[in-house]
A = this chain, B = another copy of it.
Amino acid sequence: MLKGDLVKLKPKYVQISSGGPLIAILNLKDCEENDIHRGDRIQLSYGSKSVVAIVDTTIDDSFIAKGEIGLTYELSKKIKSKQKINVELVEKPYSLKYIKEKLDGKELNKKEIYAIIKDIVDNKLSEVEVAYFAAAGYVNHFTFEETVALTEAMVNTGSILKLKSKIVVDKHCIGGVAGNRTTMVIVPILASLGLIIPKTSSRSITSPAGTADTMEVLAKVDLDLKGVKRVVEKTNGCIVWGGALSLAPADDVIIRVEHPLGIDAVGQMIASVLAKKKSVSSTHVLIDIPYGKGSKVPDLRQAKKLAKLFVDVGTKIGLKIKVVFTNGKEPIGNGIGPALEARDVLYVLMNHEKQPLDLREKALMLAGQIIELATRRKNGYALAKKALDSGLAYQKMVEIIKAQGKRAITPDEISLSRYHFDIKASKSGRLTYLNNRLISELALVAGAPKDKQAGLYLFKHTKQKIVKGEPLFRIYAENPRKLSFAKEFYERNKKHFAEIK
């Protein structure tokens, strides 16, 4: 097939999933006749719809016959037709040239960055090609102007949640701290005070729980854009998974491709966070940067560097940004893992005697900061505390949960796994250190976040006294097998978990 030529093929829906990329499967004879090769990009269209896919081929006719085209799972969500569809070869995208230039160290302009991001969203770049873009940004860094362009391009190639309010608040934590489920306390506090906070969160990729995983214990989180709008208009806030909303979707592709190597170009990370905020019409955004040994940012100097970038890029795209630097050296809250963290959140919102006070205090501080940023009042902390202590925040959480499709439950209705094991103090003294990273890894080995009831419960925090033989923390796992794996993991690393002096 010479570029621009059309061939008509009959769709066959094959339930194979690639995990992301849109793949079409063609019979080798059709490929040969039409000069199509494996890995080529083709455009499929019928009526006014069209989508670009990457070609795989079948060697014989047993699976996809000549004249047919196999639409894999992800692709079948984009194109639904019983009629023959038009298939046409697509030119190599021009944005490849810009990716190569970035690899060569050139600074890209706004138009070039937009072209790359647009082609990512339109599926015109393969995962390998997106990986080169991620590598280029990682090794050669994105300049300030490039980061701004990247943010704007991500916003402009995705969906936008349009809200009536002139002030829309939001928060983001750059992560790396076990537990730390402040969002689920902050959103109802602020919403109860009349602030609009359409909070979208991610599911965990490498940690024992993301906010979306934890909220899912209490409510539906995979709402679509219309659903989110409805919940926010009704309750002022929401706590949903961002993944189904097509907000800055280029970002999701880049993150997927960055995952195997765990790379995260700073400019890409800033753009990623701010694009998601801008896409839900946020105007005032608080960024929480935990720092210190064991967290993502090792020291205050690095934290301040990152903060400056957030503020500069955010300001440039019309957001009011405030950054707070918090203690990233130890877990926040007692529970680690979706169910255990959800329980902590409810305890705090209910002012329950079992509430973890560190989680309560951090959430109040952050909520107070957001109130002051958005309203210019000076007594943010006091207002947040009043909302919490009065029970208004809890009541708002019940409303939000209901709007997100579930009835509210009490913390003690959250079931935890019956397979658990207590790790006990090997000596008496004062707990001076808990290893954030190992705590998270242990919860992962125990099965979190996939097993929602798995994880850890911390009986003690640093600075507290402990007596030899007293339980330090409890491991929950879905089955005896995983529990023994977790115990083994603990045994192998036990020297580094905690310090008692």
Contacts and interface: CB of A to CB of B under 8 A. Distances in A.
Contacts of A43: none
Copies in the complex: 2
Nearest to A18: B56
A14 B257 CA distance: 27
A317 interface: no
Interface string A22-51: 000100100000010111000000000000
Contacts of A138: 103
Interface stretch (A57-65, A147-155, A435-443, A463-471): A57-65
A99 interface: yes
Interface string A252-268: 00000100111100000
Nearest to A14: B63
A132 interface: yes
Interface string A124-154: 0011110110011011100000000000000
Given A128-B128, A136-B139, A257-B128, A263 B17 contact: no
Contacts of A63: 14-16
Contacts of A126: 260
A84 interface: no
A164 to B, nearest CB: 39
A100 interface: yes
B261 A57 contact: no
A485 interface: yes
Contacts of A19: 37-39, 56-57
A163 interface: no
Interface magnitude class on chain A: 35 or more
Interface string A175-190: 0000000000000000
B260 A96 contact: yes
A191 to B, nearest CB: 35
A39 B257 CA distance: 11
Contacts of A262: 100
Contacts of A139: 103, 105, 135-136, 139-140
Contacts of A35: 450
A60 B103 contact: no
A143 B138 CA distance: 20
Contacts of A377: none
Contact of A485 (B2, B39, B135): B2
A126 B259 CA distance: 12
A208 to B, nearest CB: 15
A17 B132 contact: no
A424 interface: no
A482 interface: yes
A481 interface: yes
Contacts of A18: 38, 56
Interface string A227-242: 0000000000000000
A449 to B, nearest CB: 13
A73 B63 CA distance: 12
Interface string A474-494: 000000011001000000000
Contacts of A131: 128, 131-132, 135
Given A35-B450, A481-B2, A58 B17 contact: yes
20 contacts: A15-B58, A15-B63, A16-B70, A17-B56, A17-B57, A18-B56, A19-B37, A19-B57, A35-B450, A96-B260, A96-B261, A100-B262, A100-B263, A103-B263, A126-B260, A127-B128, A128-B257, A132-B261, A136-B139, A139-B140
**3 nearest A-B residue pairs (beta carbon):** A19-B38, A135-B135, A15-B59
Given A16-B70, A103-B139, A139-B140, 17 more contacts: A2-B482, A2-B485, A15-B58, A15-B63, A16-B57, A16-B63, A17-B28, A17-B38, A17-B59, A19-B37, A58-B73, A100-B263, A103-B263, A127-B127, A128-B260, A129-B260, A139-B139
